Each structure stands twice: as C-alpha cells, then as structure tokens.
Structure 1
C-alpha cells in the first residue's frame, strides 16, 4: 500500500482530507500528523483524549537509541480511532518549538512508515502541513522534507477557488524540482482538489481547469461537506448519516485511486520503458515511407 503525503500552500483542508482518507480506507490505515507547526487533531477530532505523553515528539529520543527503539516507541504512540483498531493516528506536536528536535528523526520515521505500508499492508497518510520554501527548496525545519521526498505520492491540496490557485501556483515548480532532485521523482506529485458546492452551480474551477492551470494531474477530488468537515476538524458528535456521507464515500474511492496510481508508479520504476532499437526504428520508418509513396 502507498505512503501518501498531503501538503498545501495554506490552511485549506490538509488535516481533514488526510483524516477522511484514513477513516474511509478499506484497509488498515494510519494518519501520521507531522506538521512541524503543530498538530490540531489532539484538541479537535480526538477531543483532548490524548495527552502530551503520546505522539510524534517522543519519537525523537527513541530514534537516538536505535531503529528497534524507534519502532517500539512508534507502535506504542499510535491512537486507535475505531473499535477494531484498524485505523490509527500518530498525534502531532503540541508546540512548534518541538520541531527542531525532529530534524534527524524524519528520515528514520519515513522508513518505519514505508515498512508499515509496503510490508504490513497499511494505507499510510502523512499530514505534512503547509509548505515552507526558502531559496527554491523545502525549508529544512519548517517542513518534514524527508517524509515528502520519500513518499510514494505527494498530494498538493487545493480548493477550487481563484484564491487557492493563486497561493498554490508558486509552489508547484519548486516542489516538482525538489522531488526530482531529492525524492522519488516529480511524477509522485498530484493534486487533491476540494470541491465546494459552487462548482455544481457553475461557479468555481473544474478539476480539468485546475489541472491545466497548475500543470499537474488531479489524482483525487473530495466534495465540500461542511458538517462532516467540522466534525473531522473539531470532533464532537458525528453528524447524522456521517458514515454514509458524500465526503467519506468519495474519500473511499479516492483511496483506491491513489493506491492504483502508486502501484503504476512502482511498476514503471521497476520496469522502465525501453527506447526503441534504432535499427528497428529505421526499418519501420523506411517501410512506412515506402508504403506512403506507393499510395501516392
């Protein structure tokens, strides 16, 4: 299964989208809240059930002991969000000042997440928060750069509005370059579009227009559902019909689409297409030219 990192140019639904994908997945799933600017799930969706003794920050000390200590600490800091324990959350930082301690932890955490996805069959979603770019590269402290570099897919979350496009447009080329130079390749980058109701009324941008404007493929789209989004953000009592909501139904479809895209990328990376043999290409070219001449 893939490791998918979600990022954005501004606060436009990364956490709620990542949580919707995690909850809707047909497979065991994990949401790792890795925004260096701090997490919101602890106080929001988890309603204060998880204290500061749990979460991402505690992995830093374990990583300095070694890989086994990191793996054990990681497993003990996952919080189940369903009765069967198939869906879990790694709660994020309680203070942005803690992010500096994780500089050397991100890469080791990425290894753990990939083992969980590829060997244990989990859908893994990373909330990497808002991107910070300096001198055309991801900021080494304000972004979890190694998690983004090593992800199977990187989803740039964008709303279908002019304001969101304007904020996102300047991040596409630096992020694509970053993935080419330090990651798994620019082909890992795609868009996750949040479609407000305005789209259905003829206002706002369609997914095709957004893909053209940002020169990046749309890998998934989720409808805007204010009641469910508020629940995913703030917690509390689920709205009526929550489990059958349009948002979760689309999120389930999106998780399947993302898995298919990641699988195609793995196949392409393992078996890259070979250029045609120049001798064969020459023969075919002469043959087609000869036939075209006879028709003339």
Structure 2
C-alpha cells in the first residue's frame, strides 16, 4: 500500500522499537506482506536487540551498496531479508541495517535507487516501513523521507523530549514541503511518558497525532532487547493494541493523501513535461531467481538455535515465493557465468564514495548466493 518512514530525535524516543511494533501489528490482508528496512545511518539495532545476536551480521543494507553499483540492487535485496513473522509465513520481513556508522557514506548514491525499488514493491503486495532513526531524515538519506507516503515522528510527551523535537520537526516539515510531497505527510507517534496530552502536543506543533503508545518499558524491552514476541501477554499488551490502532491511522492518512494528490498525478500523466517527477525505475525485481523450486540452493549453514526458532516460527524464509495476487511477475535473471552460487561470497561494505572508481577486476566481493535463508534446527 505505501512506504512509511519512522524518524526519531534527541532523547532516545524509541523509533526502532515503534517501527518494530508497527511491523508486528500491521494489519495484513490475504496475499500482502510488510517489510521493515533499517535505514538509520548510525547503524541498525534489531540484530543485536530483538534478535539477541542469534543472527550473524552477514545480511543487511551494507551489501546493497556494492550490488547497486553492479546494477544488481533489486536482485540482491531478496537475499538479505530475514523472516520475523511468528509463524514463519514470511509475511513480516526485515532488512537489517548497517553494522558500522562508517559504512553510511558508501550508501550516499544508493538511497535514491533503494527507495525507488521499494516503491516498486507495492504492486507485488508489499508495504514498507523505513526506520530512519535520529539522523536518517537529513543528509544524503533525506530522500527516503521525501519519497515516503507518510513520515511518522516519534516523540516522548516530556518537556525535554518535546523541546528537543521542536527544531527538528520544523526543519523536517519545511524539507517535506519544498522537496517532498507536502508537509501534510508528517504526523506524530507519541510515547505517553510525560504529562502532556496528545491534543496538547498536536495543537502546539500543528501536526496530526497518528497514535499514542504507552510508556511500558517492560513490554517494549521485548522489541528493543529481545524476548518472546509470540507470548499471548505480549500480543495482547497495551503497547501492541495501540500500535495496531496507530497502523490503522497511518493507513487512513496514506489513503487521504493519495486521494488529494490524485489530480496532480493525472495531470502529470497527461502532460509529462509540465509536472516534473522522479525518473522511471530501472531496477526490476527478478521473480524466477527466488522461486521455492531452488530450495536445494537455498540451504545455508546459518540457522536459528532452538529457542530462536520457537520465538520466530519453525518455517525458514524459503526464498520469498511470489504472491498469487501479484499482477504480473517480473522477468527472471540468471546468475552470471563467473558468479556460480556455490562459489559466491558475501560482499564487503561499499567503499567511500569520495574514492575514485576501482577497476572491476580489482573488486574482491562477489555476487551474493541466491536464497540465503534461515532454517530452524
């Protein structure tokens, strides 16, 4: 349905925890999936947090920079996903973030093709949540917030949290108005820690409140530091109930904004030179490259230990089979002759973008093996 960006700010407002809560609480119709992408330039935290270090840090955003330079960003994206759905159905997925903030400059030219690729997933039945952290809405990665359908800012309702958020929200609002789809894309997701009500905060900042999450450290610790997300008490907790309500409000905002922007889109289609728009997406997703029939190639030594399998479901990621409801599959792409799956390795982080282009033969990273998956023991 949409690409949703979640941004944080000073005072550790819990952007990643809120994004994970939205991922697990997001209402999914049959045939639809949702993907959480950790785009925080300061580094991702889900692998060491919610997954408690049980998944080796060989998957993630850092591998996409090299792939994008080779024109393989869309193909490599599928090899980096981790299944977070409790039943192993692969309908709630994670693309882990950077493991080192020094890797962020290497993604300076990858952010825009990445968000184009993620927007291209919508016809295939995917919603996308972007965790931008505290600094992902500024600098080279600001294009992620500008291209998002809705930008959700997490705030704590304390005086310190609201005071620190004021200049950040003002700058973000102006940036969305001038470089994005409009300032009305910005909304608030509040954490009720302080004495200020949602109506007071909304009136003070002039922004709509999309949700009010409780200040529940014990429950939130399951998302931030690990725990059993399949436990009935966690699923029925106030945090997850309010996260489901927030997800509904976000979807309503997306629909209302799209209805409002629909005339502009129609005018742009009728007069392509009158209304400038983004360049057409050149990165298409190969469907045949990750069919379940390639299960023999999908075996990977990395697997959940028994306790992790119980927490996140017994079924492996299984190659992310296409949805029956998808309109039309993208054409497949075969691996290059010199990049056989059994010989391929994991790429290394993208070099600093200021450095000159290196000859192709000097690069040590190879194309990523098809079907890197997690199998429960």
Normalising by structure 2, we get a TM-score of 0.65
Structure 2: which 5+ residue stretches go unaligned?
Answer: 265-377
Q: Any residues of structure 2 matched to 1:1-296 within 5 Å, and which? A: 1-10=1-10, 11-27=12-28, 28-66=33-71, 69-82=72-85, 83-116=88-121, 118-131=122-135, 138-140=138-140, 144-196=141-193, 204-238=195-229, 241-271=233-263
Alpha carbons 1:154, 1:190 under 8 Å: kept: yes
Alpha carbons 1:22, 1:123 under 8 Å: kept: no
**CA apart distance, 1:225:** 2.0
Alpha carbons 1:6, 1:155 under 8 Å: kept: yes
Once the two structures are overlaid, the 10-residue window that deviates more, 88-97 or 181-190, is 181-190
Structure 1: which 5+ residue stretches go unaligned?
Answer: 199-203, 273-296
Q: Taking structure 1 as reference, are residues 258 and 132 closer, same or farther at Cα in structure 2, changes over 3 Å only?
A: closer
Larger Rg: 1
**CA apart distance, 1:240:** 5.9
Which deviations, in whole Å up to 9, do the C-alpha atoms of 1:47-96 show, x marking residues without a partner?
Answer: 21222210000000111122xx1111111101001211110111010000
**CA apart distance, 1:268:** 0.3
Q: Taking structure 1 as reference, are residues 132 and 260 closer, same or farther at Cα in structure 2, changes over 3 Å only?
A: closer
**Inter-partner Cα distance in structure 2 for 1:228 and 1:74:** 31
**Inter-partner Cα distance in structure 2 for 1:98 and 1:159:** 29
Alpha carbons 2:221, 2:227 under 8 Å: kept: no
Give the aligned length: 256
**Inter-partner Cα distance in structure 2 for 1:103 and 1:179:** 19
Q: CA RMSD in A?
A: 1.6
**Inter-partner Cα distance in structure 2 for 1:167 and 1:132:** 17
**CA apart distance, 1:123:** 2.6
Alpha carbons 2:8, 2:155 under 8 Å: kept: yes
Question: Which structure is higher in strand share?
Answer: 1
Question: Which structure is higher in helix share?
Answer: 1
**CA apart distance, 1:185:** 1.2
**Inter-partner Cα distance in structure 1 for 2:27 and 2:228:** 23
